[in-house]
Structure 1
Amino acid sequence: MREFSSWLAKMRPSINGYAYYVDFPKVYANIDAVRIELNMMNSLIGSSDIEADFKRLIERYPEVLTCIPLLLAVRQHEIYAQDEDGAFLYDFDKPKCSADQDITFMKKTGLLDLISRHLVSNLVDYALGVETGLDSNGRKNRGGHQMEDLVEGFLRKTGAEYYKEMYLNDIERKWNVDLSAISAEGTTTKRWDFVVKTPTVIYVMETNFYTGGGSKLNETARSYKLIAEEARQIAGVEFVWITDGGGWKNARRNLEETFRAMTHLYNIDDMEHGVFERLFAV
């Protein structure tokens, strides 16, 4: 018989892997895509007549403009800007503005000043830093997949037949099972993070990780408790919930109710101690 407090105490504050912080291969690829253009822009560093030199450069090599958004830490090629002189939409992928208007953009954004005053010595290195900073915005997406990737690693080790991101109606068609008890009589559909098929049982699984607290955790605990109760009405189908994270320590009341009501509620420590092997190893 498991004891809730000791189980909760094993929740992890984080599951961030080494690759979570910066996706350097992606950063390098993005830099390589404009490396030539950045090196052409390097010819302007320290220029005493930056406007004339920039104008000559883009008139001879207009493709150099494609690297401008990156220098401003902007992903899109179209940049809107306005002031008392008017509003302009600059398209650095398919330049339409005059060279003089491009110079205006470079002046008013501060890029010409940055380059002419030699405040940076190499725009490739500068862009590498910008790309690294921009990539930090991708941490939320990477973090959202970390728990699923972790669970899948443990599933793979069992050798069991499993499916990722499978819809409820696909399960019904594939194995000729009626899941109306957990689909509100067919009025709603749901995508499960994983589905594991053993000779006798279909396990439908949800996974998540919460670093922080909030009302969402209580709603999730109540919702999954209800799913577990509904799944008990279906012969040969069981609901498995894998969750973890320090956020649960501030939302323990609802989780404890669900813990006592569910047969298959596990955390990372449970997976590390072979719970999947006991459930559905082949």
Structure 2
Amino acid sequence: MDRNFNQWLSTFRSSINSYKYYVDFEKVKENADKVKVELNMLNALVGEQNIEQAFESIVAKYPTVIQCLPILLAVRKNQIYCQDENGAVNYTFAKNKTMTVEQYKYFLRETGLFKMLQTSDIKNLYDYCIGVEVGLDSNARKNRGGHQMEDLLERYIKKTGAQYFKEMKLSEIEKKWDVDLSAISAEGKTEKRWDFVVKTSKQIYVFETNFYTGGGSKLNETARSYKMIAEESKHCEGVTFVWVTDGKGWVSARNNLNETFNVMDNLYNITDLENGVLEKLFR
């Protein structure tokens, strides 16, 4: 039965964010625990009026506390560059302090950390660090988002019970199953890594998948590129190219996607996966 492109496009999702997308709390706790001992030592500075002298005493006894100072500024690096009218300094925060205590005091004074520790309502620096790590972890959402569509597709492939492989190179497929993919590889001149490869008793399915929340020229390039692969793969006996994509970003690039839709039998979205398209495909 012929598919209707506009109807198919209307089922595209605005988001595929999972519950684990927003914050990786296991990673947050793991990062905070790395400096938990040092943070607890620095708790003595909270509300301390003679804070600079107290800091000197702590560093003298426990120099490793220096390594946890960057996280108090929401920085994970062990080097921080600062400059003012007195010059530029590249502060280092190794376990064994490599700078003078006076330099570290200047750093805490000028960044406002001393004042924050003296006057804020913070009661525990470990708890404070947990909050900082949650904020920093939100920056990793883009990386997690990039894998969400792959994870989603993998769940549906697993449900079929078919044998599959992740991130498999074109040359590896040729070698493993003795098939000719030269039509796709430009006679062996180019290498390609597929997101998934499924092997059934009758066919090899090579998968690409992506999700686009926003538009842009990249979508048009992707549609044209996959259209070409779809046409080239028709000359590869025993191999079928499958593209699973979704996302409202395609609305602005609908024309190029429509062209690919018209020539590619195995172009699917999330709704197709939910409706069991892979079970039917692998029969």
Q: Give yes or no for TM over 0.5.
A: yes
Q: Residue 177 of structure 1: CA displacement? A: 1.1
Q: Distance in 1 between matches of 2:6 and 2:30?
A: 47
Indicate the residue corresponding to 1:50 in structure 2: 51
- Secondary structure of the 2:235 match is coil
Q: Distance in 1 between matches of 2:160 and 2:85?
A: 66
Q: Does 1:107 align with 2:80?
A: no
Q: Distance in 1 between matches of 2:5 and 2:158?
A: 28
Indicate the residue corresponding to 2:219 in structure 1: 217
Give the counterpart letter for 2:59 in structure 1: I
Indicate the residue corresponding to 1:169 in structure 2: 171
- What stretches of structure 2 of length at least 5 have no aligned partner? none
- Secondary structure of the 2:20 match is helix
Indicate the residue corresponding to 1:98 in structure 2: 100
Which whole-Å deviations, capped at 9, do the CAs of 1:104-143 have from their partners, x for residues lacking one? Answer: 1111111011112234222122211111000001101100
Q: Distance in 2 between matches of 1:56 and 1:50?
A: 10
1:9-28 equivalence runs, <5 A: 9-28=10-29
Give the counterpart letter for 2:253 in structure 1: A
Indicate the residue corresponding to 2:122 in structure 1: 120
Which whole-Å deviations, capped at 9, do the CAs of 1:161-217 have from their partners, x for residues lacking one? Answer: 111000000011101111111011111100000111112211111000000111111
| Deviation larger for 37-46 or 5-14 | 37-46
Q: Distance in 2 between matches of 1:119 and 1:270?
A: 52
Q: Distance in 2 between matches of 1:102 and 1:194?
A: 51
Q: Residue 95 of structure 1: CA displacement? A: 1.7
Query: Percent identical across equivalent pairs?
Result: 59
Q: Distance in 2 between matches of 1:7 and 1:160?
A: 26
- Secondary structure of the 1:170 match is helix
Q: Does 1:34 align with 2:49?
A: no
Q: Is the 8 A contact 2:108 2:114 kept in 1?
A: yes
Indicate the residue corresponding to 1:243 in structure 2: 245
After TM superposition, the runs of 4+ consecutive aligned structure 1 residues lying more than 3 A away are none
Q: Distance in 1 between matches of 2:205 and 2:85?
A: 63
Q: Distance in 1 between matches of 2:19 and 2:207?
A: 26
- Secondary structure of the 1:181 match is coil
Q: Is the 8 A contact 1:46 1:116 kept in 2?
A: yes
Indicate the residue corresponding to 1:186 in structure 2: 188
Indicate the residue corresponding to 2:268 in structure 1: 266
Give the counterpart letter for 2:141 in structure 1: R
- Secondary structure of the 1:81 match is strand
1:150-161 equivalence runs, <5 A: 150-161=152-163
- What stretches of structure 1 of length at least 5 have no aligned partner? none
Q: Is the 8 A contact 1:73 1:134 kept in 2?
A: yes
Give the counterpart letter for 1:7 in structure 2: W
- Secondary structure of the 1:243 match is strand
- Superposed CA RMSD: 1.0
Q: Distance in 2 between matches of 1:118 and 1:9?
A: 51
- Secondary structure of the 1:196 match is strand
Which whole-Å deviations, capped at 9, do the CAs of 1:219-271 have from their partners, x for residues lacking one? Answer: 11111000000000111111100000011111111111110110100000001
Instruction: Please give the TM-score of this superposition, normalised by the length of structure 1.
Output: 0.97
Q: Is the 8 A contact 1:90 1:96 kept in 2?
A: no
| Deviation larger for 176-185 or 131-140 | 176-185
Give the counterpart letter for 2:60 in structure 1: E
Which whole-Å deviations, capped at 9, do the CAs of 1:57-112 have from their partners, x for residues lacking one? Answer: 11111111111010010011111222222222222124211111110111111101
Instruction: Please give the TM-score of this superposition, normalised by the length of structure 2.
Output: 0.97
Indicate the residue corresponding to 2:64 in structure 1: 63
Q: Distance in 1 between matches of 2:17 and 2:35?
A: 31
